[in-house]
Amino acid sequence: MGYWKSKLLPKIKKMFEKNGKKAAAAEACKSFDESKEEINKEFEEKKIELQPKVVEIYEASSAEIKSVVKDRTEAGVKENSTAVTKFLEELAKIEFPGSKAAGEAATKFGPSHVTGPIFFIFERVSTFVVTEQAPAPAAEPAAPAEESSCKEEASAATEEKKEEVKQAEEATTPPPPPTEEATPAAPAEEPPKP
């Protein structure tokens, strides 16, 4: 009996807890989905006062978090789970609507199990980031000229790459098989045998 309680029972409990963890994470996602309307209302009310704080946190975060916030992929959340959890905690400190619930769920069940609430929060954060980046180039008149020249250079470089790819394809493409018209002409060119 001691062996069962000390060795096997804990292993069996772990096996069932994994499925229970997924079910609990699904329940947390469901309750978060039900409160989205309230979160949206609170978000719209606090939008003006939250913007500078969110932009500050976003700018201080790592490049991985910035890419996850912009792209919002499950693979990105799985790869950067600790950074995602830390980012949600930072948002909870400034009382960003819904971030506390999403952060607690991410801490408890793992960010990969509660991607729905995380993506919802990141979507709201990205609205601040986009609006902040749009006025910045307008404030600096020299920056748009540099950007346009960079865009021209980039488009020229992509055209050159396309041409190189076409040339490489032509070089690697075998010549077309000879047609019937070309075959009879070949024996006529041979010199007569004495």
Digit-coded pLDDT (tens) for 100-158: 999 898 888 888 888 899 999 999 888 887 644 444 443 334 334 333 333 444 444 45
Percentage of residues in the chain with pLDDT exceeding 70? Answer: 63
pLDDT at 191: 63
Q: What is the pLDDT of residues 82-116, one digit of tens each?
A: 899 999 999 999 989 999 999 898 888 888 888 89
What pTM value is reported for the model?
Answer: 0.57
Residue whose C-alpha is closest to residue 113's, from 89, 90, 84:
84
Q: Residues 99-125, buried b or exposed e (16+ Cβ, 10 A)?
A: bebbbbbbeebbbbbbbbbbbbbbebb
Structure tokens at 194: 């004495």
pLDDT at 4: 76
Kindly state the DSSP code that residue 97 receives in the 8-state scheme.
T
- At 173 the three-state DSSP class reads coil
Q: Which residues contact 97 (CB under 8 A, 6 or more apart)?
A: 39, 40, 42, 43, 46, 124
